[in-house]
A and B are shown apart, each in its own frame.
Chain A
Amino acid sequence: MELHEHLFRREAGRIVATLTRIFGVENLALAEDVTQDAFCRALEVWPFRGVPDNPSAWLMATAKHRAVDVLRRERTARTLAPELGRLLESDEKLAPAVEELFRTDAIKDDQLRMMFSCCHPRLPETAQVALMLHILCGFSVDEVAGAFVSTRAAIEKRLSRAKQTFAGSERLFEIADAADFAARLPAVHRALYLLFNEGYHGASPESAVRVELCREALRLAALLFEHPLGATPATYALSALMCLLAARLPARLDAAGNLSALADQDRSRWDPELMAEGQLLLDRSATGPELTEYHVEAAIAAVHASAACVEDTNWAQIVSLYDTLMTIRPSPVVALNRAIAVAQREGPDRGLEEIGAIADRDRLATYPFYYAALGELELRRGRGETAREHFRAARALARNSMERQFLEQRVEACAGGD
């Protein structure tokens, strides 16, 4: 029997989430140990007995048995979740109590509880995302470090601080309370968006790692809209945006493995299933009065998705969507993207004018694609020499080898410009 490629990783997130509910937040490390034990057991048994028919159920059942052992052994020595105390008074009550705790419908929401708990307001956003990847997606410290292109030591520190805050939060986030749910939801959206962006734009040189991060963000977002309280227009919009961008991933690298700009991508390689799903989710997001940044960004991605080539793009619509985005979440990067769209519609001179008019333009000084945009527009005006200077400046700011390679090619493209 073939196992799902990342079965263990995903099951780890599910099992830790359930065990943390049972043991209590302060016993996260215990939950992680018991989970590890369940995987060790699989590693010992499966080679001899074969993969069980339902590997997920096998792993959860094994974790359950270990949990019973731990509860039996430690219920007096350790402070477990207070609501457990009553259930664990005697051995006779223990087994049925544990059965109750592992009921399928109870397990179903554990990942959501964990997701919301990871987005604790006292944690910085980067720590929230790292914690989600670690606890909920089963990434080891090394794997999280690989995803963020950080050192093991730095990630270990970030995670252990985050876990302290987590353990001090007394209990898992209670998703049954609609008001609390709604209040924390924007932070969860934000963290998922950051996780996705780490994959989409992030610095990891390994495209496999990046695709994984995007997939995990999509998977967690789906858990969110499968829950009645999580199925909000903003959740659908965020999922739509991530699907529509993820659809482009196969074309983001050209045949030689180099980063390919949107305009140059082979659109026949865009994933039709993800595009269709993105469009469907975008339709579902169009209810109610709330217009979030995710709605607008998804709409922009949908305009690109509907154009057979860059020339067919409805740039007027894109400029107007960027105008809207500037009112919801203004930033110099959004203004820059708007200016690039203006240039597509009205020519490079107008684009450069718009760039010159960006408020807080100095905040773009360390953003490589600011100089790359200037370079493209100068190149289109026939000023190869100026363009080359901009691309060189961009190259010097490149955040990873793929960006560097891409910008190097742009520098070289200016060679015959003048």
Chain B
Amino acid sequence: MSEFVFLYRSTDAASRAAMGSPEQMQKSMQTWMAWMKQLADKGHIKDRGHPLERAGKLVKGNKRTITDGPYAEAKDIVGGYTLIEAKDLAQAVELSMGCPILEGGGVVEVRPVLKTGM
């Protein structure tokens, strides 16, 4: 088994548009939870991970300039991550297909964790 990180990315506008009425939000939340549960039941979740605040600070360059960011209009903001266990990248990608963020125009970035000692 290898480890992968799912990074959930979407624009602020896209995630807001996908939210809609309380009823729709409850539905999409339940879809998320069902998806996570299904991955956990099959033993693919190493760490559920954490949601991230949408805004923080950007520290940049050797001058250490500090700015607010990422901006709301940024193309995609990482909204959270999960640590996944899968046989290989192909299976990890397959597992990401059911992620509800895709319905709302978001992106799942699937990144293998670099194995130490290789």
CA distance A138 to B50 in the complex (A): 29
Contact among B21, B32, B48 for A43, CB-based, below 8 A: B32
Q: Does A7 contact B (CB under 8 A)?
A: yes
CA distance A374 to B1 in the complex (A): 75
Across-interface contacts of B32 in A (CB, < 8 A): 43, 46-47
CB atoms of A143 and B26 under 8 A apart:
no
A interface residue count range (under 10 / 10 to 19 / 20 to 34 / 35 or more):
20 to 34
Q: Is the interface of A mostly helix, strand, loop or mixed?
A: helix
CB atoms of A3 and B26 under 8 A apart:
yes
CB atoms of B19 and A9 under 8 A apart:
no
- Minimal beta-carbon separation of B57 from chain A (angstroms): 18
CA distance A138 to B35 in the complex (A): 26
CB atoms of B22 and A48 under 8 A apart:
no
Chain A 128-164 interface mask (CB, 8 Å, partner B; 1/0): 0000000000111011000000000000000000000
Closest to A59 in B: B22
CB atoms of A43 and B23 under 8 A apart:
no
Q: Does B49 contact A (CB under 8 A)?
A: yes
CA distance A40 to B22 in the complex (A): 9
Interface size on B, residues (CB 8 A): 24
**A3-B30, A51-B33 are contacts. A39–B51 as well, Cβ < 8 Å?**
no
Q: Is the interface of B mostly helix, strand, loop or mixed?
A: helix
CA distance A9 to B25 in the complex (A): 9
CB atoms of B36 and A39 under 8 A apart:
no
Across-interface contacts of B61 in A (CB, < 8 A): none
Q: Does A367 contact B (CB under 8 A)?
A: no
CA distance A56 to B24 in the complex (A): 17
**A3-B26, A6-B26, A8-B25 are contacts. A40–B33 as well, Cβ < 8 Å?**
no
Across-interface contacts of A138 in B (CB, < 8 A): 21-23
Which residues of chain A from 41 to 80 have any CB-CB distance to chain B below 8 Å in the complex? Answer: 42-51
CB atoms of B30 and A43 under 8 A apart:
no
Closest to A10 in B: B22
**A47-B36, A140-B20 are contacts. A40–B25 as well, Cβ < 8 Å?**
yes
Which residues of chain A from 3 to 39 have any CB-CB distance to chain B below 8 Å in the complex? Answer: 3, 6-9, 11-12, 36, 39
- Minimal beta-carbon separation of B38 from chain A (angstroms): 12
Across-interface contacts of B26 in A (CB, < 8 A): 3, 6-9
CB atoms of A11 and B25 under 8 A apart:
no
Q: Does B70 contact A (CB under 8 A)?
A: no
CB atoms of A12 and B80 under 8 A apart:
no
Across-interface contacts of B29 in A (CB, < 8 A): 8, 42-43, 46-47
CB atoms of B19 and A11 under 8 A apart:
no
Across-interface contacts of B35 in A (CB, < 8 A): 47
Across-interface contacts of A48 in B (CB, < 8 A): 36, 48-51, 80, 82
Across-interface contacts of B21 in A (CB, < 8 A): 9, 138-140, 142-143
Closest to A137 in B: B22
CB atoms of B23 and A40 under 8 A apart:
no
Across-interface contacts of A40 in B (CB, < 8 A): 15-16, 19, 25
CA distance A9 to B19 in the complex (A): 13
B interface residues with partner A (beta carbon < 8 Å)? 15-16, 19-26, 28-30, 32-33, 35-36, 48-51, 79-80, 82
Of the A-B pairs whose beta carbons lie under 8 Å apart in the complex, a sample of 23, sorted by A's number, is A8-B22, A9-B22, A9-B26, A39-B19, A40-B19, A40-B25, A42-B25, A42-B29, A43-B25, A44-B80, A45-B51, A46-B29, A46-B33, A47-B29, A47-B32, A48-B80, A138-B21, A138-B22, A139-B23, A140-B20, A140-B21, A140-B22, A143-B23
A47-B36, A49-B48 known, 7 other contacts, Cβ within 8 Å: A40-B16, A43-B29, A44-B51, A44-B80, A49-B51, A140-B21, A140-B24
